Homo-oligomer: A and B are copies of this chain.
Amino acid sequence: MLTQDHGVSGNPTVTPVSGERNGALPSRGVANDADSHGPLQTQTAGGVPESNVDVLIIGAGPAGLMAASWMAHCGIKTRIVDKRNSKIFTGQADGLQCRSLEIFDSLGFADRVWKEANHMIEVRKGRILNPGSDGLIRRSDRIPDTIVGLSRFQQVVLHQGRIERFFLDNIKKYSKDAIQVERGVLPASLKIDESKVDNDDGYPVRVELRHLSEEESTPKQQVNASKVQDGLYRSNLTQEDDEADLINKSKSRAGDSEIVHAKYVLGCDGARSWTRRELGFELEGDSTDHIWGVMDVVPITDFPDIRMRCAIHSAESGSLMVIPRENKLVRMYIQLKEVAPDASGRADRSKITPDLIFGAAKKIIQPYKLDYEYCDWWTAYQIGQRVGTDFHSHNRVFLAGDAVHTHSPKAGQGMNISMQDTFNLGWKVALVAKGIAKRSILSTYASERRQVAQELIEFDHRFSRLFSGRPAKDVMDAEGVSMEVFKAAFEKGNIFASGLSVDYAASNLVVKNGSNESLAKGLPVGMRFNSFKVLNQADGRPWHFQERLKADGRFRVVLFAGNILSPQQKERVNKFCSELNGPEGFLRKATPRGVPIDSVIEILTIHSSKRTETELLRDFPEVLHPFDEHSGWDYNKVFVDDESYHEGFGDAYRNYGVDKERGCVVAVRPDQYVGWIGELEEFSGLEKYFEGCLEL
């Protein structure tokens, strides 16, 4: 029996293990592990410092920060650079899908978003506004903005600067300051040594980085009378970006260059991605000649629905989309019919001013009055729907976010899909870098996310055309967009826009043919693990089950143990557990020696007997609640589908479509997607799943 100092300056040798893991994943058989995160610098003959790093992330927007967050949670030696010297403070993307909130929750900061954001409750299909025959705005029926029952979260709106702040705090917390965004750092060249790309221990990607001066890395604002911060420098109406110029300038200064050798490089550097251009890849797809203005204002208006999400379709003046935001702000997407593209297909940005944009909005919303005193941010854009020709090079350099798909911002998808790209990619790179997962899983990034990008631009294409189109005058008006068509498209888009319709195709991470999907009809293989409330067996506390699927890089086996009090079922559970616990089973083989048995794959149990008639230590095999010599039994792994005192009944078995007597077994990826489903007897199928993706 030891007692330990745990005071202010104490140095405890036995740390109390928190319910939440915040340690890094273990690693196996890989040189240069992440115990020290700082780059080990050496000097070349020419005096340029060189260093090795597991992962280099280019771009610290939401996609880059999501990737860095995974690396922090998994303990991967990582650097993240951005050419700009400050993060975003206003404007930019702001709509957040249900799925993004679920992801934030798995990282640990959904609560901060939920608290600050404006919640989108009503609209989407409803509250569509259309001119009646009298030319006045008619208001149609309403529906919820988020389909009821789809997720425990609803869509919200919060500006990108806050999201980036939460990411930075999260990265700091989990990496203990080892990963910090390096701002004012610009990549100057990238080379892949193809002889090393199949070598697990190699650093095949060589990147030259240049450190910019304060002045160089500050974005230029359009000079105009209003002095409102504008977003034109990031808008696609900027004809040329300034990388070449910046590189030339920084070259004139000595000692500001360095060489980084990386195992993996993640290009999260936006629609004009330097990484993409350096690899020689392109974006392909349609262009559009619709030009839109965007303004964040505190409106002064008698329009009754200003705090609802509204789509206003005027007869002749174009369309307006109203997105109420946090504080008293409202974002407006405003069609600019008066600004025509020039011969090159581009609009002249110098003509676009807040007055011009707001003037258009005032016209559209007539006969209601619309004015403002305070404008927080504004921009304009003219964007087509395009997807990258390639998502990676040798599965060593990856492109994510706007670097591989562009589309209009109106549907509020951009930031979500971009973050979800690297939420898909990050853990794969981390687990491969750690030697835990097979390198072959990396190719699922391109296949899975290209599919989503394709769906995104199709959605956006339909959505944008509907919005920019003239409303139909009557049913015989073939060129106009009828209210019915508009509403139907909205409705269909609603599920896509939640981010919950993603269904990844079969791969070594998603076993569809080898799964018995009828055992859990509410958990389709390839889709994210839906969430219902269950109770902790040991203390009765209700949890949304998804809260137990944290983004810590671990795979999970969810054992629906069924009616554990039935002797036959108990026998089945015992047999499954003894296989699981076998010295040659995948669980022990996947776990490096000397680390806890739940470090790579965590087993979570949900049973369906009454909580009060069961007992953790008596009724559940040890492998389901492992014993640790320092801290005793694990009380956070066995759950029950039973009624709570204060938060109702999740009815999880029924909602997951699992038989209450017999249960089933589900393999879950670190990003919460369902990978495999089978009977308790199908242990070999489960083993095969992990053999397919992990180094056993």
Interface residues of A (CB under 8 A from B): 1-8, 10, 12, 14-19, 86, 89-90, 111, 115, 118-119, 121-122, 142, 144, 146, 148, 154, 221, 226-229, 298-302, 304, 306-308, 324, 326-329, 354-355, 358, 371-377, 536, 538-542, 612, 615-618, 629-632, 635, 644-646
Contact B302 A1 (CB under 8 A): no
Tell me which residues across on chain B come within 8 A of A300, comparing CB atoms: 629, 631-632
Complex interface: chain B residues within 8 A of A629 (CB): 300, 373
CB contact between A5 and one of B4, B228, B302, B617 (< 8 Å): that residue:
B228
Q: Which residues of B contact A228 (CB under 8 A)?
A: 3-6
A374: chain B residues at CB < 8 Å are 2-4, 12, 14-16, 630-631
Please report the C-alpha to C-alpha distance between residue A154 and residue B646 in the assembled complex, in whole angstroms: 8
Which of B8, B301, B540, B612 is within 8 Å of A89, CB to CB?
Answer: B8
Residue in contact with A329 in the complex, picked from B16, B326, B630, CB distance below 8 Å: B16
- Total copies of this chain within the assembly: 2
Q: Please give, as numbers and ranges, the residues of chain B lying within 8 Å of A12 by CB-CB distance.
A: 374
Q: Which listed residue (B144, B375, B632) contacts A645, Cβ 8 A?
A: B144
A146 to B540, CA, bound (A): 13
User: Does B16 lie within 8 Å of A327, measured CB to CB?
Assistant: yes
The answer to whether A645 touches B121, judged by C-beta atoms less than 8 angstroms apart, is yes
Residue of B nearest to A618 (CB): B304
Within the complex, the shortest CB–CB distance from A172 to chain B, in Å, comes to: 16
**Min distance, Cβ A671 to any Cβ of chain B, angstroms:** 22
Is B632 a contact partner of A327 (Cβ separation < 8 A)? no
Q: Which residue of B lies closest to A327 (CB)?
A: B18
**Which residues of the other chain, B, contact A327 by a CB distance below 8 angstroms?**
16-19
A16-B298, A121-B540, A154-B646 are contacts. A227–B373 as well, Cβ < 8 Å?
Answer: no
In the complex, A540 Cα to B143 Cα: how many Å? 11
Q: Are B538 and A307 in contact (CB under 8 A)?
A: yes
Closest chain B residue, CB of each to CB of A539: B307
Q: Determine if A630 and B373 form an interchain contact, defined as CB atoms under 8 angstroms apart.
A: yes
Q: Which of B5, B121, B306 contacts A227 (CB 8 A)?
A: B5
List residues of chain B with CB within 8 A of the CB of A3: 226-228, 354, 374-375
Chain B residue contacts of A299, Cβ below 8 A: 632
Q: Which of B229, B354, B538, B630 makes the CB contact (< 8 A) with A7?
A: B229
Most B CB contacts (10 A, CB to CB) among A17, A154, A540 go to A540
| Contact A617–B328 (Cβ < 8 Å) | no
Rounded to whole angstroms, the CA-CA distance of A14 and B227 in the bound complex is: 13
19 residue pairs A–B, Cβ–Cβ below 8 Å: A1-B372, A4-B227, A14-B374, A16-B298, A16-B328, A17-B327, A18-B326, A19-B328, A121-B646, A144-B646, A154-B646, A298-B630, A298-B631, A299-B632, A304-B617, A306-B635, A307-B635, A308-B538, A308-B540
Is there contact, CB below 8 Å, between A86 and B615? Answer: no
